[in-house]
Each structure stands twice: as C-alpha cells, then as structure tokens.
Amino acid sequence: MIAVMSALCMAGTVSASVGNAVHAEPAQSELTAEAAASQDRIYGIASVSKMYSTLAVMQLVDEGKVELDAPVTTYLPDFKMDDERYKDITVRMLMNHTSGIPLGLSINHYLYEDVDSFTHDNASDIVSGLRLKADPGEYASYNNMGFSLMEHIVENVTGMSFTDYVRDHIASEIGADHTGTAWSLYAGDLGDARVALYRGFLPIEYPYEMAAGSGGIYATALDVANFGSVFFTGNEILLSDDAKTQMSDRWNDDEKYESYGLGWDFVEHVKYEKENIKVMGKGGDLPYMNSCLLVAPDEQISAAVLTAGNGSSQYAGLMASALMDVALEERGKTVSDLTPPEAEIVDTIPEPYKKYEGLYCSSTFGIAGICRITFDDTVMYKENLGTDNALPERFKITEDGGFVKVNDNGRMTSDREIVCFEEKDGKIFIRTELFTIYPGLGNTLDRMYTGEKMDENSVAPNVQQSWDGLSQTAFVIYNEKWTSQQYETPFYWIVIDAAFPGYILVKNNAGERVEKLTDEAHASFFTTIPSSANRDLYDIEITRQTFADGISAVSLELSDGTRCRSVDSLPVFTADISEIPLRSSEAVWYRIGKDMGGKSIAVERPDNSAVFVYNKFRELLYSTHVKDAMNTIDLPSDGYIAFAGETGDSVKIFK
C-alpha cells in the first residue's frame, strides 16, 4: 500500500508518495485550515504532462495497438513535413526527443480563462511546412511538438478525445479526481480549487495550456505524486513492467549527451547514480507555474513538487530532490550532495588551440546567442555579441584540455563551468559541464553540447544591406487570440552587427535566436548542436503587407505561425479616437502620441476583448487580464496600446 508524505512551502504545494509510511510536515507549527486546503490546489503541471501522454501511448503499446518503432504516419496518415525524412520518424522518436522536428509550440497555446482548439486542430498544418533540423534518431533535442502529435496518436487509435482518455484510462484508475486537461478544468470537472496566480503583486486570470499532450495537464501535487507511483517496479495498475523498463532506458549510452528516456527528462541522475539508486525525473515550466516529478522505481518513492509564482522547474527539482533524500534516508540510504568537478589549471594555452578562435552560436535551454572565442597565452575569452553588456567571460585551460571559468582574479568560481571543444563530422562544437550552487537548496550538475562554430556566410551586398536596414527594428505580434498570454511579451526585434556579417539575432523578452541570411527576405535556422541547446528553431521571412488599418508595412513572419508588424508602421493613438473596431485575426495596435502621453482614458469593451498598454521600454504596464483591472488607464509617453477581440465588436474610448 502506498501512503503519502505531504509538506507545504510558500511557493506552492509539495507532495511525495512513499511506500509504507505516512508523514505530515507543515511549514508552520500548526497546519491552518487555509494551509490544509492548499494541498488540494490545482496547478498546471507544465511539461510533466508529457509523462501522461507518454503513458497513454505506452498503454496502447501494451495492448498491441501501437508499435514504438513504427513510423508516425502509421497512426497519423495525414502527418507530413516539407522534408522527405519525416517518413522515418517513429513513435519512439517523438517520446525521446530524437525526431528532428525543429519547432516547439504553435501560436494560441496559452490562454487566459479560455480554451480553444486552435493549437490542437492546427498542429499538423503547422508542422507540414517545416523542414527537419537533423536526421530522425540522430540526436536528442527537447521538442514539445512531438508530444502534441502523440496526443493525436492517442485520439486516432482509440477514437476518444485526449481529455476523455486521461480521465478514463489514467486518472480514474488511480483515484486522481483532480487530474485532467485544461478542458476538464475549465468545465469544472476537477473542482474549483485552482491556485491563485499573480503578476508581481497583481492577481491575474487563470491561464490554460492548450497543448494538452505536451504541457496541458492540470492536477494537485498529491495526484501527481500518486501518478508517479505507477512507475514503481512491480506496480502494473496502468503499465507493464516491460513498458516501464523501455521508458527508463536512456536513448543513447554516451554520457556526453542528455539522458532522455521515453518522456523522462533524465533516467540517470548523477547524484543518485553514484549511490547505485535509479531515479528518473521530469520537470516543466509555464509562465507562473512550475513542476517536477522524481521517481525512484526500485525504492518505491515518488516525489512531486508544483509551485506558483516566479519559480522554475530547477527550483522545483531541488525541492523534490530534498524530499527524495528524506525518504531514502528513512530507508537507511544516505545520499550526499554533488561536489564540483575537479580541475587543475595549467599556466599556458598550447598554440594548437588557436584554431578554435572564431564565432559560435552558443545556446542553453533554447536561448541562443552569438559569442566570439579568442585566446591569449593564458586565457580564453568568451565575448557575447549583439548586446550592450559585452564584457568577456574568462576561462583558463586545465590539465584535461578543458577550459574552466575564472573570475577577474584568475580563480575558479564556486559555480564551476568547464567547456571543451570537440571536432565531429567536420564541425567544431562546445561541450559544457556546469556545476551550480543554489544556497540553501542544493546544487546541480549538467552536461550538454552548448555551442557550434559558425561558418562564414558571405551574402551579396544587396542582401546584407537589406537586412542592415532592419537593424534594431521592433515588431509586435498581432495574430494571437485576445486571450493569449503572448501579449504580455509581444515585441521582437532584429539585431545586426558588423561582428557577425551574414547572420542576425532575432530577440524578444523570452530570449533570442540566431538566424543565417539566405536572401533579402529570408533567414533560417542552421545549427546542428546535438543537444537541447538546439531546441525550438524557426525560419523567418520578411514581407510587406497592407493591414486592416490601410497601412502598408513590413511584417516579420516566423515558421511557428507568429506574425508581427513593425512598430514604426503603427498609427498614432490620438485624442480624436473614440471607438476601436476589433478583428478576430488582427490585434489593433497604436503608438501613443505626444498629445495623449501622460493622460488617462476609460474604455467600454465587450467581454471577449482585451486591452494592453506598454511603456517605451516595451514593458507591460496594464492588462485587462489582471483581475479587477481599473477601467481608468494611464497612458505613458512614447508607449504603445493594443486592443484585441473578435470581429464585429468594438471598444469605446472616453477621455
């Protein structure tokens, strides 16, 4: 019989299921009614959802209805891509992130107080226009879209909606009454104990993730911890031991790569491996909600951490690991913290390392940039380009031929970062070992490929000049639904730098991507970094189109479906504007004119609409997705205002 250990923390709810023991550890001396109720709060569990879609498909494997190594087209006949290699993508490759699909998620996938089938219904259409970033099965690189396709496989094979399948074949089988998709939570089928969310100190409406198979499961921490117990050795309530064994096998035996399993982020955790304890884990991040699930299958321990606020799956993982350590210690197994990798600094850098000088696309966790690597006799310098904060990082060579990061005094930092250069298939890659200390929480050790040397990209002068004209040009998203969370960070801009001719940086508030120029209107992804540093890639196109306001403007189009227009083309919001007609497919944007800067307006708007205001630094100041947002709106000088809604409606403006 599996019992439950629960604890409370300020960031959210923490639960762990542990065999044959029950413990309750309130964060305070007394467990108040409010604190006790918080254990039943429902969170978006983000990418831990992938374990539910993986389990669903593995149940179909157990039943003989799906074969792991069969092509995806066997179960999704309409699946295709603009790359003939798509026919080689198997179901297994969707699960272990080796499919080579470049894209993560499409537009309209994260919506405030709204559920919409756009992301589900258009997944195949969006993928159909993409090319692969690698041969299927070549390397693992984190990919959300593969799990959205798995959602469709479940539906096609069973004839059930994914929501119904999760309810009938997973949640109900383990008594998880508060587990389901956004659709079941929105309909009230899971109760109404949704965790309260805030942007800063402002309460916001509840957001729903529409990509159910990749990130759209909602549950309590207790439900998730109990879900983790289905992966215990010998527990065949939902899966056979053979299916669980296949899920827990890493995709590649080479320790230089990430240890993905089927669905799992890792099936080998270095902290526990050194004690010969098998621990598997999956983390996830949504705006405002984060999660982690750790399972020790042979030890019969499952730990789930769900948080709300400005956290991360990294913090949730450290908390889950602490719970795992407590449970293991009760079984007489003590696990010590990780220690930084050893490194002996050598005084002089040998001359042959000079060949590694040059420009690199350097990327971690899906956020890429361009850096320049140079050497003197004793130090390697890594300078990030295209930024105003370009002070170079310093590294010194070690006895093993790697380079360890040092401070201004030439000493190794407490957070130990060691990079190595590796030549493979005619290319030069950077491989990084990163030891990070989180005071009071623990530490982590990550190993992955993080960079690739960039080839010279000589383009015709007219091509370079065309892109140079867009340097620092800002664009705003206009084609997301009015409920989309993307309107909180809707700005993109292009960075051109003489230091990296033939390439550009496309930035937004979530990060940046490196693109290779191909002609005057197109730039494309090009990297082959064999890791999750190469995730969420897109091609871009520059077009000119006439918008509904009659203005012909430059448009930035991303291959994930995002459409943006240049802010220079936006009409000015002036005092004589009294009504804004709305359009379902095109948010109405204005620059705030000098005559309105510093003044206030009031709005009368339909229910299915939203208003957003940003300052000149492109920071969100006002959103009607904040609960009880004031109807009086202060307008900043040189800022922006956007109105989004549905065709046929309008917003009335009062001065």
Read off the CATH number of the domain in which 613 is found: 2.60.120
Residue 359 lies in a domain: no
Type of residue found at 614: Y
Return the SS3 of 323.
helix
Residue 342 lies in a domain: no
Cα angle 393-399-403, degrees, rounded to a multiple of 5: 15
| Domain-ending residue, one of 445, 479, 500 | 445
pLDDT at position 365 is 57
pLDDT tens for 566-586 read 999 999 999 999 999 999 989
6 and 66: one domain?
yes
pLDDT tens for 394-447 read 999 999 999 999 998 889 988 999 999 999 989 999 999 999 999 988 999 999
**Mean pLDDT estimate for the chain:** 91
Question: Mean pLDDT over residues 268-293, rounded?
Answer: 94
pLDDT at position 182 is 96
576 and 519: one domain?
no
469 and 550: one domain?
yes
Nearest to 523 by CA among 498, 548, 494, 546: 494
Token pair listed for 605: 């708007």
- List, in sequence order, every residue forming a beta bridge with 437; answer none if it has no partner: 443
123 and 264: one domain?
yes
Token pair listed for 461: 């002068």
Residue 341 lies in a domain: no
pLDDT at 311 over 90: no
Token pair listed for 568: 């220079």
pLDDT at 223 over 60: yes
- List, in sequence order, every residue forming a beta bridge with 641; answer none if it has no partner: 590, 613
472 and 430: one domain?
no
Radius of gyration of the chain from its Cα atoms, rounded to whole angstroms: 25
180-181 sheet: strands from edge to edge: 43-44, 217-219, 180-181
| Domain-ending residue, one of 525, 542, 566 | 566
Task: Give the rounded distance of the alpha carbon of 53 from its chain centre.
Answer: 17
Question: Mean pLDDT over residues 212-225, rounded?
Answer: 96
Compute how many other C-beta atoms are within 10 angstroms of the C-beta atom of residue 476: 21
Question: Mean pLDDT over residues 492-503, rounded?
Answer: 94
Given a contact cutoff of 8 angstroms between Cβ atoms, the answer to whether 591 and 634 are in contact is: no
Start-to-end C-alpha separation, the chain:
66
Given a contact cutoff of 8 angstroms between Cβ atoms, the answer to whether 586 and 479 are in contact is: yes
How far CA 320 is from CA of 181, 269, 303, in Å, comes to: 23, 13, 6
Pairing between β-strand 491-495 and β-strand 474-477 as defined by DSSP bridges? antiparallel
DSSP string computed for 203-262: EBPPEEES-HHHH-EEE-HHHHHHHHGGGSTT--SSS-HHHHHHHHS-S-S-TTS----S
Q: CA–CA separation, 393 vs 204, rounded Å?
A: 39
Nearest to 94 by CA among 137, 55, 63: 137
pLDDT at position 42 is 94
Compute how many other C-beta atoms are within 10 angstroms of the C-beta atom of residue 543: 11
Give the model's confidence band at 255: pLDDT under 50 very low, under 70 low, under 90 confident, else very high.
confident
Give the model's confidence band at 368: pLDDT under 50 very low, under 70 low, under 90 confident, else very high.
confident
389 and 322: one domain?
no
295 and 416: one domain?
no
pLDDT at 489 over 90: yes
pLDDT at 484 over 60: yes
Burial 98-129 (b: 16+ CB within 10 A, else e): bbbbbbbbbbbbbbbebbbebbbeebbebbee
pLDDT at 3 over 50: no
Q: CA–CA separation, 280 vs 410, rounded Å?
A: 37
For the chain, the helix, strand and coil percentages under 3-state DSSP, each to the nearest 5: 25, 30, 45
pLDDT at 625 over 70: yes
Given a contact cutoff of 8 angstroms between Cβ atoms, the answer to whether 345 and 404 are in contact is: yes
Task: Give the rounded distance of the alpha carbon of 83 from its chain centre.
Answer: 25
Residue 254 lies in a domain: yes
pLDDT tens for 114-147 read 999 999 999 989 899 999 999 999 999 999 999 9
Q: CA–CA separation, 435 vs 149, rounded Å?
A: 35
Task: Give the rounded distance of the alpha carbon of 138 from its chain centre.
Answer: 22
472 and 595: one domain?
no
Give the model's confidence band at 18: pLDDT under 50 very low, under 70 low, under 90 confident, else very high.
low
| pTM attached to this predicted model | 0.93
Residue 361 lies in a domain: no
* Number of domains into which the chain is organized: 4
What percentage of the chain reaches a pLDDT higher than 90? 82
Q: CA–CA separation, 401 vs 353, rounded Å?
A: 10
pLDDT at 34 over 60: no
pLDDT tens for 332-365 read 999 998 889 889 999 999 999 999 999 999 987 5
pLDDT at 388 over 50: yes
Q: CA–CA separation, 502 vs 609, rounded Å?
A: 41
Residue 35 lies in a domain: yes
249 and 106: one domain?
yes
461 and 541: one domain?
yes
31 and 146: one domain?
yes
Q: CA–CA separation, 621 vs 270, rounded Å?
A: 43
| Domain-ending residue, one of 515, 545, 566 | 566
Domain that holds residue 632: 570-655
Residue 337 lies in a domain: no
pLDDT at 520 over 80: yes
322 and 378: one domain?
no
